[in-house]
Amino acid sequence: QVQLVESGGGLVQPGGSLRLSCQASRFSLEYLSIGWFRQAPGKEREGVSCVSSSDDSPQYADSVKGRFTASRDNAKSTVYLQMNSLKPEDTAVYYCAAAGVRCPSIATPKIGFGSWGQGTQVTVSS
């Protein structure tokens, strides 16, 4: 079973940027899609993005379109989430999770995604 580890979270001011990484081990990333999700205190886990192992364009939640970019480097077994123009409402624990060759819908995190990482905290505050 693939193991995923997130990193790159931290404290950033509004308008700033962070790049999250999701490192995969025990299984080739080449055949996996990787989803990014976040969960703020007291809220449901929500989908942020998913990057497919195929040529499909990445999925993005409406709340992050134009600000976040997901990419992958199969040679490094790593998927990235570049987050720009961060807002206080982006504050959450961010998780990555694995799926099959093509991305399931990120609107339903409990369907199609598994092997969740432990999460990395992102705090956007002045």
Is residue 20 within 8 Å of 80, Cβ to Cβ?
A: yes
Give the pLDDT confidence score for residue 56 in this predicted structure.
Answer: 82
Mean pLDDT of residues grouped by 10 in the chain (126 residues)?
Answer: 95 98 90 96 96 88 97 94 98 96 88 93 97
CA 29 to chain centre: 14
Torsion-angle region of 10 (φ positive above 0: left; ψ -120 to 50: alpha; else: beta): left
Residue closest to 91 by CA, chosen among 58, 121, 126: 121
Identify the burial level of 116 via C-beta atoms within 10 angstroms of its C-beta, where 0-12 means exposed, 13-18 middle and 19 or more buried. Answer: middle
Write the DSSP assignment of 97-124 as a string of letters.
Answer: EEESSS---TT-TTSS-BS----EEEEE
Give the pLDDT confidence score for residue 123 in this predicted structure.
Answer: 98
Give the pLDDT confidence score for residue 16 in this predicted structure.
Answer: 98
Give the pLDDT confidence score for residue 73 in this predicted structure.
Answer: 93
Residue closest to 88 by CA, chosen among 51, 63, 118: 63
